[in-house]
């Protein structure tokens, strides 16, 4: 009887610990208010035309105003001192100089995104050379790598 109580007590402690430690890590996107968008395809989708926030680490939401973000327009994030960006899988196109003039050291991006050859300062060539595969790309000592 004493052993049963001990075992039940231990199981209860383990369960409480698991519940306390279990953090649902829902992806935290930047506020939709940080992005100015334009309608696309009959107002069913949107293009980000300007970043109006002030963060250096940006996590672009996959939907703004209930519509999928499918494009990042020309110069949308240009010269904003951004060091890290997560681009949602919904994005299929990135325009001219969209991220030029930043200090990017990390880019998380989906597969097969059409990137203008001048969209980034140097990332786009590496992304294309890797077969435009999804992943987190990092810049270290002047060289990009992907994981």
Q: Which pLDDT does position 23 carry in this prediction? A: 41
> 32-146, what's its fold?
3.80.10
**Predicted confidence band at 7 (pLDDT cuts at 50, 70, 90)?**
confident
**Predicted confidence band at 9 (pLDDT cuts at 50, 70, 90)?**
low
Q: pTM for the full model? A: 0.80
| Minimum mean pLDDT range among 8-22, 35-49, 114-128 | 8-22
Q: Which pLDDT does position 56 carry in this prediction? A: 98
Q: Find out whether 70 and 90 touch, Cβ atoms under 8 Å.
A: yes
Sequence ranges of the domains in the chain: 32-146
pLDDT > 70? residue 21: no
- Both tokens of 125, joined, read 């060539």
Sequence length of the chain is 147
Q: Which pLDDT does position 1 carry in this prediction? A: 63
Residue 86 vs residues 14, 57, 64, 82: alpha-carbon distances, Å: 35, 8, 15, 11
- pLDDT of 51-77, one tens digit each? 999 999 999 999 999 999 999 999 999
């Amino acid at each position: 009887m004493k052993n049963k109580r001990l075992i039940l007590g231990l199981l209860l402690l383990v369960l409480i610990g698991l519940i306390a430690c279990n953090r649902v890590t829902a992806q935290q996107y930047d506020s939709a208010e940080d992005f100015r968008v334009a309608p696309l395809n009959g107002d069913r989708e949107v293009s980000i035309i300007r970043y109006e926030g002030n963060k250096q680490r940006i996590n672009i939401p996959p939907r703004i105003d209930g519509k999928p973000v499918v494009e990042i327009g020309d110069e949308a994030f240009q010269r904003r001192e951004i060091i890290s960006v997560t681009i949602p899988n919904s994005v299929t196109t990135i325009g001219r100089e969209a991220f030029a003039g930043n200090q990017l050291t990390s880019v998380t991006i989906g597969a097969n995104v059409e990137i203008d050859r001048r969209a980034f300062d140097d990332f786009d060539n590496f992304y294309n050379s890797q077969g435009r595969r999804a992943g987190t790309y990092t810049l270290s000592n002047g060289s990009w790598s992907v994981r």
